[in-house]
């Protein structure tokens, strides 16, 4: 029973810290903010995490496992050409955003704040590198398949995909009450996929 209670307390700490980091920023969030919201003494909180930085590192690793690694697995489990795979990336990200909003927007909101922090920069870069390399690999595959314009630079296109995705997330959070989410995702999908596709890729099979 104690182990279950401990795991539940650890989960509450992580979710509470994530909420504060997204809302206030990492540096503006104090250990006291987290401990007061969870209802723990400082000693009890430190029994689970040694520092605020350790909580952040755990969340970054969780983001990689849940948002990046699971997306890669979801895409690789599907069939179709490179454009179909990119569509699966978008579908996974859209669903993930609705189910895990704070975790989904976490790096989008905090990257600028953390990019110069020597404690977190290497892990952040690693997460984004894995994401970029996966998208870039799909686009390279699409060029070989003839469904992506051969003049496309795969690495730049992957970075553009990531930048658009982050911007879409940011505006969704700000304007969610005004946005038809399905139509919003459809618009992003059509703009990126159509702009990337070759003439062959834009032609639907009969």
CATH of the domain at 179: 1.10.357.10
Boundaries of domain holding 184: 57-202
133 vs 100, which has greater pLDDT? 133
Contact 108, 170 (CB under 8 A): yes
3 vs 51, which has greater pLDDT? 51
Show the tokens assigned to 82. 């490179």
pTM: 0.86
Contact 107, 63 (CB under 8 A): yes
Q: Would you call 41 exposed, middle or buried from its count of C-beta atoms within 10 A (0-12, 13-18, 19+)?
A: exposed
Q: Are residues 147 and 170 in the same domain?
A: yes
Separation between Cα atoms, residue 177 and residue 180, nearest integer Å? 8
The tens digit of pLDDT for each residue in 107-147 reads 888 877 777 677 788 888 899 999 999 999 999 999 999 99
Q: Are residues 122 and 186 in the same domain?
A: yes
Lowest mean pLDDT among 49-53, 80-84, 127-131, 177-181: 177-181
Q: Give the pLDDT score at 178.
A: 87
> What average pLDDT does the chain have?
89
- The pLDDT confidence band at residue 5, using thresholds 50, 70 and 90, is low
From 132, 127, 141, 133, select the one nearest 84 (Cα to Cα): 141
Question: What's the start-to-end Cα distance of the chain, in Å?
Answer: 59
What integer is the mean pLDDT of 62-91?
94
From 52, 88, 60, select the one nearest 73 (Cα to Cα): 88
Q: Is the pLDDT of residue 206 over 50?
A: no
Domain count, the chain: 2
Q: Give the pLDDT score at 2.
A: 44
Separation between Cα atoms, residue 10 and residue 45, nearest integer Å? 8
- SS3 for 25? coil
Q: Are residues 85 and 148 in the same domain?
A: yes
Q: Is the pLDDT of residue 150 over 80?
A: yes
How many CA atoms lie within 13 Å of 196's alpha carbon, on the beta-carbon side? 30
- The pLDDT confidence band at residue 200, using thresholds 50, 70 and 90, is confident
Q: Are residues 45 and 144 in the same domain?
A: no
Separation between Cα atoms, residue 37 and residue 95, nearest integer Å? 28
The residues, ordered by sequence, that sit 6+ positions from 181 with a Cβ below 8 Å of its Cβ are 94, 98, 172
Q: How far is C-alpha 22 from the geometric centre of its chain's CA atoms?
A: 13
Q: Are residues 109 and 185 in the same domain?
A: yes
What CATH number should be reported for the domain holding residue 4?
Answer: 1.10.10.60
């Amino acid at each position: 029973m104690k182990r279950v209670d401990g795991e539940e307390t650890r989960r509450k700490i992580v979710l509470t810290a994530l909420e504060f980091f997204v809302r206030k920023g990492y540096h503006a969030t104090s250990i006291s903010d987290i401990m007061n919201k969870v209802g723990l003494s400082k000693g009890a909180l430190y029994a689970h995490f040694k520092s605020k930085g350790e909580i952040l590192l755990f969340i970054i690793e969780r983001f990689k496992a849940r948002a990046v690694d699971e997306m890669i697995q979801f895409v690789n489990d599907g069939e179709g050409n490179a454009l179909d795979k990119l569509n699966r990336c978008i579908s996974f990200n859209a669903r993930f955003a609705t189910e895990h909003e704070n975790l989904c927007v976490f790096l989008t909101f905090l990257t600028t704040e953390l990019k110069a922090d020597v404690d977190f920069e290497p892990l952040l870069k690693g997460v984004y590198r894995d994401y970029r390399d996966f998208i870039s690999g799909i686009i390279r595959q699409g060029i070989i398949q003839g469904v992506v314009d051969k003049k496309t630079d795969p690495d730049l296109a992957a970075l553009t995909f990531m930048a658009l995705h982050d911007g879409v997330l940011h505006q969704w959070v700000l304007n969610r009450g005004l946005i038809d989410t399905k139509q919003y995702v459809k618009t992003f999908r059509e703009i990126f996929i159509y702009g990337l596709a070759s003439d062959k890729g834009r032609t639907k099979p009969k």
